[in-house]
Chain A
Amino acid sequence: MTGQVATPLPRLEAAGLDAWLIRLFDAIDEANLPWLTALTRQCEAALGADLVDLVPSYTTLLVVFDPLKLDPELARRRLGEVLAGLTPDADTVGGEIRELPTWYDESVGPELALLAERAGLSVAAVIDCHSERLYRVFALGFAPGFAFMGLLDERLECPRLDTPRQRVPLGSVAVAGRQTAVYPAVTPGGWNLIGRTSARLFDRGREGFSLLRLGDRVRFVPVDRAEFERQGGDPHPMEAER
């Protein structure tokens, strides 16, 4: 029994001198998204120039404000008012559909075979299974433009690697648990790699910088190596791990 179970949602939680955390839900669910996107937009409007940052994620929204301009208690009241009047976004609001051309191949997706073996499927069936779904972006984090997407078909559910890789190549398409993601930059990472996309997830030259936003719908579109390269993808195989 935890103390939090009894406390009703949504609620406002203390998160430091300059922030409140709005907790809307207690479980990951696609149905959270229209509430989260609406809340994010309305908090932006309610705090205006006093707002510093917003960090939406799965079930919560962290609202960071300037405590020199806006007293934390006043911020709490304003956020409470937003919550009281909150209605979810209509299905048609936001949530762009993004297609990510993806080359599924064991040379760039070394865990393809592992997933197939775990699921009792052929590699081709794993690719179908991953690319048939329309995923939603639940959160961005870990690295600039890194979008946590779900939910994955149960058959592809897979724990993270025991030992994270030191260098995951840019554009790597990955799965962990019941989520999927693309590595927007070369970083360490512990997710299972199944392919590579030619799409640029984070581009400082692009308006808005990140290709994906909270609530977006994402489809991985299988392409062959030639098409992947034609679209600017880097086909170099994974470096051997030390």
Chain B
Amino acid sequence: MTAAVSGLSVRRAGPLALLQDAGRFGVRQLGVTQGGPADPHAWAWANRLVGNPWGAAALEITVGGIELVAERGLTVAVAGADLGATLDGEALPGWRPVAIREGQVLAFAQPLNGLRAYLAVVGGFRAEPVLGSVACVVREGLGGHDGLGHKLAAGDSLRVGEEAGRAVPPREAPEAERPDYRGAARLALLPGAQIGEFRGASLFDAFNAAWRVDDRADRMGVRLTGPLLHCRVTSMISEGIGLGAVQVPPDGQPIALLNDRQTIGGYPRLGALTPLAAGRLAQCLPGQEVRLVAVARERALADYRRFRAAFA
């Protein structure tokens, strides 16, 4: 690995920008959560477009509002949400590699299509891993550019490898891989062990109602509002919860748990969103409509394998 040098400095910090590699694994029995990109699809594409392997650290920019100054020539790619990215004031095309020169200003404005954009650089952003990962989890104070779980602030600097300015073959992500995040999202859900504890009418509602993304949504979880779901089990002894688990607390409104969820919890669950569905939900803005669609494990696994095969 080449030496780390300063690549980008933060001129203005937006609401939330976090360094994310694939996530922090093998430490959940210590109460440490997974972290990693809320939308692995867009994160993986940003990395792929600049030739990075799966797992390279990229910057997850939520909502926008951030301005970055290039400290050297860099080859970058932005994938995921359209946050109105510009380079020196000119629209920056997404889903393809872009060369930027020292001193140029890369700015993200506000969500135009989706909520989270991923900025990848050739060789990945560099930071000291904490518990095996640079995934930034603010609540736990772990990872990120400073190792302490801080979101990016004005004056911070992001380090890159010396190869970060290397040219890469020009290419674009295929149209089919660039979701229109504004449309109603259909979220694939694998039914879980408590599915039989929900009343029939609630089960019908769960998979037929239009759910709305609540404004109580973050990297821990996204609350959905809609018809009240009744489960015969109201609380359980806390147990391990996986990515995408859709729990239903006694208020009857489901919460889909994402990357920064607590490791254990005690509410009954409809099941779990697939990793790709969890990522799709992470791109939804408050008020947006989503639907839950039950899928079989074989189907979900085939979809996931197809996705990952492109990023070997």
Judge if A9 is at the interface, Cβ distance under 8 Å: no
Judge if B253 is at the interface, Cβ distance under 8 Å: no
B134: min CB distance to chain A, Å: 13
CA distance in complex: A54, B308 (Å)? 23
B197: chain A residues at CB < 8 Å are 2-4
Contact B28 A53 (CB under 8 A): yes
Contact A210 B30 (CB under 8 A): yes
Within 8 A of A (CB), among B9-53: 25-32, 34
Contact B272 A55 (CB under 8 A): no
Judge if B141 is at the interface, Cβ distance under 8 Å: yes
- Chain B, residue nearest A67 (CB): B301
**Residue-wise interface mask of A (47-58) relative to B, using a CB-CB cutoff of 8 A (1 in contact, 0 not):** 000001111111
CA distance in complex: A13, B240 (Å)? 12
Contact A55 B233 (CB under 8 A): no
Q: Quick one: which of B196, B240, B272 contacts A60, CB cutoff 8 A?
A: B240
Interface size on B, residues (CB 8 A): 47
- Chain A, residue nearest B273 (CB): A16
B142: chain A residues at CB < 8 Å are 144, 204
CA distance in complex: A144, B239 (Å)? 16
Interface locus among A109-117, A126-134, A135-143: A135-143
Contact B242 A18 (CB under 8 A): yes
B194: chain A residues at CB < 8 Å are 4
Are A141 and B238 CB-contacts (below 8 A) given A14-B193, A15-B192, A57-B264? Answer: yes
Interface size on A, residues (CB 8 A): 50
Q: Quick one: which of A16, A68, A144 contacts B243, CB cutoff 8 A?
A: A16
B244: chain A residues at CB < 8 Å are 16
B25: chain A residues at CB < 8 Å are 52-53
A51: min CB distance to chain B, Å: 8
CA distance in complex: A141, B30 (Å)? 7
B141: chain A residues at CB < 8 Å are 185
A208: chain B residues at CB < 8 Å are 30
Are A56 and B196 CB-contacts (below 8 A) given A67-B304, A68-B308, A141-B31? Answer: no
Q: Quick one: which of A17, A21, A27, A143 contacts B297, CB cutoff 8 A?
A: A17
Within 8 A of B (CB), among A28-65: 28, 40, 52-62, 64
A113: min CB distance to chain B, Å: 29
Within 8 A of A (CB), among B219-265: 232-233, 237-245, 262-265
Contact B301 A40 (CB under 8 A): no
Judge if A194 is at the interface, Cβ distance under 8 Å: no
**Most A-side CB within 10 Å, residue of B30, B232, B263:** B30
CA distance in complex: A56, B131 (Å)? 19
**Most B-side CB within 10 Å, residue of A13, A15, A140:** A15
Judge if A19 is at the interface, Cβ distance under 8 Å: yes
Contact B28 A139 (CB under 8 A): no
**Residue-wise interface mask of A (179-197) relative to B, using a CB-CB cutoff of 8 A (1 in contact, 0 not):** 0000001010000000000
**Most A-side CB within 10 Å, residue of B237, B265, B272, B300:** B237
Are A61 and B130 CB-contacts (below 8 A) given A2-B197, A17-B300? Answer: no
Judge if B275 is at the interface, Cβ distance under 8 Å: yes
- Chain A, residue nearest B137 (CB): A144
Q: Quick one: which of B32, B271, B272, B301 contacts A144, CB cutoff 8 A?
A: B32
CA distance in complex: A58, B244 (Å)? 22
Contact A142 B31 (CB under 8 A): yes
A19: chain B residues at CB < 8 Å are 240, 242, 272
A19: min CB distance to chain B, Å: 5
CA distance in complex: A16, B182 (Å)? 26
B35: min CB distance to chain A, Å: 11
A91: min CB distance to chain B, Å: 21
**Seed contacts A67-B305, A143-B140, A209-B131; 9 additional CB < 8 Å A-B pairs:** A2-B232, A15-B240, A27-B237, A53-B34, A54-B29, A60-B240, A139-B238, A142-B262, A204-B142
List 24 contacting pairs A-B, 8 Å CB cutoff, sorted by A: A4-B233, A15-B272, A16-B271, A55-B239, A55-B263, A57-B238, A57-B240, A58-B237, A59-B239, A62-B241, A68-B308, A139-B264, A141-B262, A142-B31, A143-B139, A143-B140, A144-B30, A145-B30, A145-B31, A146-B31, A187-B139, A209-B30, A210-B31, A213-B29
The 8 lowest CB-CB distance pairs between A and B, nearest first, are A62-B240, A55-B240, A16-B272, A141-B264, A13-B193, A140-B31, A60-B239, A16-B242
Residues of B that sit less than 8 Å from A by CB: 25-32, 34, 130-131, 139-142, 190-194, 196-197, 232-233, 237-245, 262-265, 271-272, 274-275, 297, 300-301, 304-305, 308
Residues of A that sit less than 8 Å from B by CB: 2-4, 13-19, 21, 23, 27-28, 40, 52-62, 64, 67-68, 71-72, 139-148, 185, 187, 202, 204, 208-210, 213-214
